[in-house]
Structure 1
Amino acid sequence: MHWTVRLDGGPRRVNHAAVAIGDKVYSFGGYCCGENYDTRQPIDVHVLDSVTYRWRSLPQLDVDCETAPYQRYGHTAVEYRGKAYIWGGRNDIDGASGLLHEYDPVSNSWRLLPTMGRAPPARDGHSACVIDDLMVVFGGFEEEFQRFSQETFVFNFRTNRWSELKTFGVAPAWRDFHTATAIGRRMYVFGGRSDQLGQFHSSRDVYFDKLKYLDLADTTWYEPDVFGDRPSGRRSHSAWCYRDKLYIFGGFSGALNRHFDDMYEFDPVPSRWTKINPVGLGPTARRRQCTVLVGRRVFLFGGTKPSRAPKTNPLTLQNNPLADLSDLFVFDYAPSLKELAAMTVLNSGQYETLVSCLPRDLRNDLQLMTQPNRISGPREELYG
């Protein structure tokens, strides 16, 4: 397992959402310090070519905010049959959304999906994953009732119908900014933030380290007995599935006032957590980033990290200043011999000398692996 590519200059985004469609990564929305979200502008779309590592900002062909979702953060995006589906999220003007939007990458167009049944209350910080023909939505922070959720809703893509799923067993406690990852017909929930007083927010945060899963075969929640080196409680981390194993990276614990840069693997068969130490230079400690699996590679981008700006900076908050990020990292489970050789050249300290001796196609590959994108500039912004 290797970190193989590290590039800056991509979209500077926090609490965005992304999916893979084919060999492209589509990133939707999020926010960036200094940008204006006071109008009902359509959500922005950035696309990453996983072969060339180049980002593009797609033009908004439809400016109708009923057809296209308005700009937001804390939403979810899932892929189903070659299209992306955006649900939930909020911004500071329009609040949270309870509408479901469909994005077609072929035509770069949106449509508001007509739905039936009982949809979940509008929220952000929830999770969503696809199992069979269902989008399963869990948790989040409901805006209307100002409460954390522990309910499970499903949207059936075949019937366009929402329903609340009746579950058995003990559901995970009320929470937001957790992760939910599908492995087979199970949805594994890890982490997130809740409150010592339960479902209503009093700023007495609790961070969860227990793993639970919902088995759709019997709609029952289970808490497996786990072994090994398990991760500490956190929120705003990333999670994905590769070859029927769960992986998590990063996140933040307010109880510890700590950002994480660690990676863990959970294997459901022995029910064991293992801390992973990949080869190569990985991401800095961060939260609110995106991770998307394409083939055997994971693309990690954006998020926030603790700022190293001097305390005298007028934009700095004294307690915990943060900086938003525009970088991209690639994590490869099985890099090819060619990719390992390219990494050796890049890490040799003699790249400028060696590159002129290489064949043109290898020089082009190395250029793509080292040339920054130009979506965002190199600035660092601070906010609380």
Structure 2
Amino acid sequence: MLLPPPLAWLVDKASYISNADQFLSALGAGLIAEGLPLAGGALTLAAPHPIIARRVWLWRADTGAVIEALGFASLEGTKPDPASVGRDWLAGLGGGPLTATVAGIGPDAPLIEWAMSRPLTPEQSELTRQVARFAASPLATLTARATMASLLETYLGRRSAAQVLAGRLRRETGETIRAALLYADLRGFTELSEAAAPEAVVAALGAWFDRIAGAVHAFGGEVLKFIGDGVLVIFPVGENAPALACDGALRAVAAARAGMAHLDEARARQGLPPLPFGMALHLGEILWGNIGTADRLDFTAIGRAVNLVSRLEGLCRPLGRDVLISGVFAAETETPLTPLGAHALRGISEPCVVFALPEK
């Protein structure tokens, strides 16, 4: 039996496509070649993610463009209507009839929707039903890939997840990266843990990390590691000038400080104590890769720069500052800074020249 080209494509080639946007656009183009009057399409996949419930790809037949929309889980834990995003968008393409088919079994099965410029013939309607049937297998493969990537990014971060997905699963020398480093840590966390209920401690940690990570991601950084109540962040230099990475780090620090100020105000209204913190900035090279036992690995960063930035943060309390900056970092920025002299850091052979942000 000779299959129609779109179905043959789903059997022979679709499983090798790694991106949902490419899958949808190729499938839509194939159906148009068979004479279907498509105005656009939508593909909805479940997303195992802490805040994203659904990912929806929207394709326009006239331009071939694909955009992605996200369906967020509500704070109450209810799931959004899986079809609402795609259906509402497709309805705005011209008012033609819509058709939706589920490619698989279960509440989280992929959903394929099409907007038509005119009604379908019975043969064309049957083809769209067969498309959903034949698409179930390649979409299951695509969903599994997306699930793995999402889970790894959630627990490892985007950069480390990409390395694991690429097959770096053994202890090895690793990769040397030059980056602006940010190390941030809560002060008095031990006392907070002793005085507050565990639920309150977890809530405080979550609020603290939200302010740091949100600011970091907004300015091009990446969280490498949560260490108790501390966090290690990098702003990779890459092919850019070091000043760009340092500028992003300084902007992230400013945003995080503003976020923490608002958080402390909210906590004060609730009768809760503030969350004092320290942050340190440095520029240097880190060794980044798999460290651990033969069968239990951790993607992490080590090196003199990591040691220095963590020790520098430890000077925040003695020097009465919430942000300290190394001389190496300071040399790459034009931001006005206040010199605090050279200071010995525990475990670091040479004194570190230290700067601070100007006091307001």
TM-score (norm 2): 0.27
* Larger helix share, 1 or 2: 2
* Larger strand share, 1 or 2: 1
Between structure 1 and structure 2, the one with the greater Rg is 2
RCO comparison, higher one (Cα < 8 Å, 6+): 1
